[in-house]
């Protein structure tokens, strides 16, 4: 067995290695770095700068492109719908399968990472050194494009949260009073303008220096953690003080809130009985002798609590799956309803309808992207002091932490929220209010701002990580024209791609699928 202190591989002096401290003796050098200096090429050793503190490392790791925290915050709005459709048992099985898959993949990646030094390049470096630059380059380019696409989507998500939930008055193209295609066009135009502004600001931060990105990462990480804690605190609060979250049902059918203002057929005012907006939606006139929809006439209107609380026993109702066909009406279990099977179905637009046909494999496909952030640590391998140690430990601990959060969320959502609210994907029955925001304590704004800063941080880290990945690919000569100035060229290309992806995404409505 050769001693790494005696042979350098290319006759280059070991004193040029950044891992060697000139103040130590040669014997100490051999003992300190023996078994770690295993890079295939000596010139690659200068791509592993040291980090200044453990806290900065944690911040960088937690807020990387497609990291576990970002995906958790980004997909948490889908989690309630998954629980409502798949049931607690089915959704828990899906989460367990997906998390187990990523854990096995992380263990395999850890085996490669511990076999030698992992400088800048992360997963691309490990694949290219294991299978060759050809395979590594193909995978690296796809990974770079995916990271760039993700950056554009994160920026658009940030703008959507800002304009819809935080500051609607900031919209340049006003959406008040618009419906349908006109409202959608106004929102997309706002995304184009604000997306360009946010991208320019993020580019300025990245140009100034990565250390400022790392400082902002601490803020974004804190916001995500506070959002998660707020949800758990809200769940505990529902045990003795559940929030007021009413849902109006006709018989056992969930009514769309935009079709009425009062959850009643009639109201008493003085000695007179007046009909409501809900009455006029199902009848041909506002008078009591009007001809009304048969289902409306045969069933009563009632109001149920959408978040009855963890002690309500709603978990038993949400335990099993409720797969539905497209355009099916959301129905409340346990409420009797009078329905004539031979009567034609009318006024279906007054109810909350499903937009897609649901089945088990669809739920798996929707959920699985939320656990694909396992490359978060390896993406910044060049910033880790000891990548061989940090990548395996950090990745496995991150997957374990988020898996526990996801699986506990499945059980808690099923135990706190009514099934019709869980299956109401777009909140049509609750006037578009945020279910998780209402559940959280002390305020829904914790979730709103947590989501906003999470998408901001994820977009900023995408812009930071994508050029580094392209830079690592260019360093191997796979893209020769980038070798003039690796980082500047890579960052410029990433900025141009992000700019056009923002325009393309809103033009083709890709944002609707992503968020």
In a domain, 118, yes or no: yes
- Residue 246's beta-bridge partner residues? 305
Q: Answer for the pair 435, 447: CB distance below 8 angstroms, yes or no.
A: no
Cα-flanking dihedrals φ and ψ of residue 116, to 5°? 180, 175
227: its two tokens:
């959002």
DSSP 328: P
In a domain, 64, yes or no: yes
In a domain, 469, yes or no: yes
Statement to judge: residues 499 and 408 lie in one domain: yes
Statement to judge: residues 74 and 179 lie in one domain: yes
List C-alpha distances in Å: 250 to 66, 340, 350: 42, 15, 10
Cα-flanking dihedrals φ and ψ of residue 283, to 5°? -120, 165
Statement to judge: residues 303 and 156 lie in one domain: no
Tell me the H-state helices in 54-180: 54-62, 68-113, 123-131, 133-161
Residues 6+ apart with CB under 8 A from 261: 276, 277
**pLDDT tens digits in sequence order for the chain, 515 residues long:** 334 443 333 333 333 333 333 334 444 434 443 434 444 333 344 443 343 333 343 344 333 333 333 333 334 457 899 999 999 999 999 999 999 999 998 898 888 778 776 766 667 777 777 777 777 778 888 888 888 888 888 888 888 899 888 988 888 888 777 777 787 788 888 888 888 888 888 888 888 877 888 788 888 889 989 999 999 999 999 999 999 999 999 999 999 988 888 999 999 888 888 999 999 999 988 888 899 998 999 999 999 999 999 999 999 999 999 999 999 999 998 888 888 777 777 888 899 999 899 999 999 999 988 887 677 666 666 666 777 787 888 888 889 998 999 999 999 999 999 999 999 988 899 988 889 999 999 999 999 999 899 888 888 888 877 777 777 777 777 766 666 555 566 566 666 666 666 666 554 444 433 33
349: its two tokens:
């637009």
**Rounded Cα distance, 173 and 134, in Å:** 47
Which of 317, 350, 383 is the C-terminal boundary of a domain?
Answer: 350
**Rounded Cα distance, 404 and 96, in Å:** 10
Interstrand relation of 272-275 and 266-269 (parallel, antiparallel or unpaired): antiparallel
Statement to judge: residues 271 and 210 lie in one domain: no
Q: How many domains does the chain have?
A: 3
pLDDT value of residue 19: 31
In a domain, 47, yes or no: no
pLDDT value of residue 174: 82
Tell me the H-state helices in 417-433: 419-423
Q: How close are the terminal C-alpha atoms of the chain, in Å?
A: 54
Residue 154: give its domain's CATH number: 1.20.1740.10
Statement to judge: residues 160 and 278 lie in one domain: no
pLDDT value of residue 147: 80
Statement to judge: residues 338 and 254 lie in one domain: yes
Q: Answer for the pair 121, 381: CB distance below 8 angstroms, yes or no.
A: yes
Range(s) of the domain holding residue 165 = 52-242+362-514
**Rounded Cα distance, 157 and 515, in Å:** 7
In a domain, 202, yes or no: yes
- Residue 292's beta-bridge partner residues? 283
Q: Three-state DSSP class for 182?
A: helix
In a domain, 318, yes or no: yes
CA 212-214-218 angle, to 5 degrees, is 115
In a domain, 157, yes or no: yes
Statement to judge: residues 64 and 176 lie in one domain: yes
Statement to judge: residues 258 and 382 lie in one domain: no
Statement to judge: residues 303 and 187 lie in one domain: no
Q: Which of 2, 36, 249, 90 has the alpha carbon at shortest distance from 17?
A: 36
In a domain, 42, yes or no: no
Statement to judge: residues 89 and 225 lie in one domain: yes
Statement to judge: residues 254 and 292 lie in one domain: yes
Statement to judge: residues 259 and 234 lie in one domain: no
């Amino acid at each position: 067995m050769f001693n790494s202190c005696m042979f350098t591989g290319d006759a280059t002096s070991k004193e040029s290695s950044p891992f060697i401290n000139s103040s130590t003796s040669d014997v100490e050098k051999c003992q300190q770095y023996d078994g770690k200096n295993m890079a295939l090429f000596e010139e690659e050793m200068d791509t592993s700068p040291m980090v200044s503190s453990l806290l900065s490392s944690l911040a960088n790791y937690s807020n990387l492109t497609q990291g576990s925290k970002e995906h958790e915050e980004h997909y948490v709005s889908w989690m309630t719908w998954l629980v409502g459709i798949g049931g607690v048992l089915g959704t828990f099985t899906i989460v367990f399968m997906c998390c187990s898959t990523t854990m096995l993949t992380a263990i395999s990646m850890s085996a490669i990472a511990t076999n030698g030094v992992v400088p800048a390049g992360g997963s691309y470096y490990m694949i290219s050194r294991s299978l060759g630059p050809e395979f590594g380059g193909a995978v690296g380019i796809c990974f770079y494009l995916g990271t760039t696409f993700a950056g554009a989507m994160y920026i658009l998500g940030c703008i959507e949260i800002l304009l819809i939930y935080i500051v609607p008055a900031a919209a340049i193209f006003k959406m008040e009073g618009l419906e349908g295609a006109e409202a959608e066009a106004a929102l997309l135009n706002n995304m184009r303008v604000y997306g360009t502004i946010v991208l320019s600001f993020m580019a300025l931060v990245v140009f100034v220096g990565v250390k400022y990105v790392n400082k902002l990462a601490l803020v974004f990480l804190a916001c995500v953690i506070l959002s998660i804690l707020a949800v758990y605190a809200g769940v505990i609060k529902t045990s003795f003080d559940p929030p007021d979250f009413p849902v109006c049902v006709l018989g056992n059918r969930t009514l769309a809130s935009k079709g009425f203002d009062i959850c009643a057929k009639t109201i008493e005012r003085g000695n007179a009985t007046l009909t409501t907006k809900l009455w006029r939606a199902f009848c041909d006139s506002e008078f009591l002798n009007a001809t009304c929809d048969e289902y409306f006439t045969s069933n009563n209107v009632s109001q149920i609590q959408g978040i009855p609380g963890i002690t309500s026993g709603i978990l038993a109702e949400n335990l099993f799956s409720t797969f539905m066909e497209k355009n099916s009406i959301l129905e409340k279990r346990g409420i009797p309803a009078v329905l004539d099977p031979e009567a034609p179905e009318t006024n279906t637009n007054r109810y909350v309808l499903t937009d897609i046909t649901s089945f088990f494999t669809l739920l798996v496909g929707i959920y699985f992207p939320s656990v694909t952030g396992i490359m978060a640590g390896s993406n910044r391998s060049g910033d880790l002091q000891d990548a061989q140690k940090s990548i395996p430990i950090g990745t496995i601990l991150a997957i374990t932490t988020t898996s526990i959060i996801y699986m506990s969320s499945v059980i808690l959502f099923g135990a706190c929220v009514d099934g019709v609210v869980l299956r109401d994907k777009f909140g049509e029955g609750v006037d578009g209010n945020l279910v998780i925001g209402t559940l959280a304590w002390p305020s829904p704004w914790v979730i709103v701002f947590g989501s906003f800063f999470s998408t901001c941080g994820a977009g900023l880290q995408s812009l930071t990580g994508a050029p580094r990945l392209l830079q690592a690919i260019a360093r191997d000569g796979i893209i020769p024209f980038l070798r003039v100035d690796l980082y500047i060229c890579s960052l410029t290309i990433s900025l141009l791609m992000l700019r056009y992806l923002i325009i393309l995404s809103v033009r083709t409505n890709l944002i609707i699928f992503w968020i």
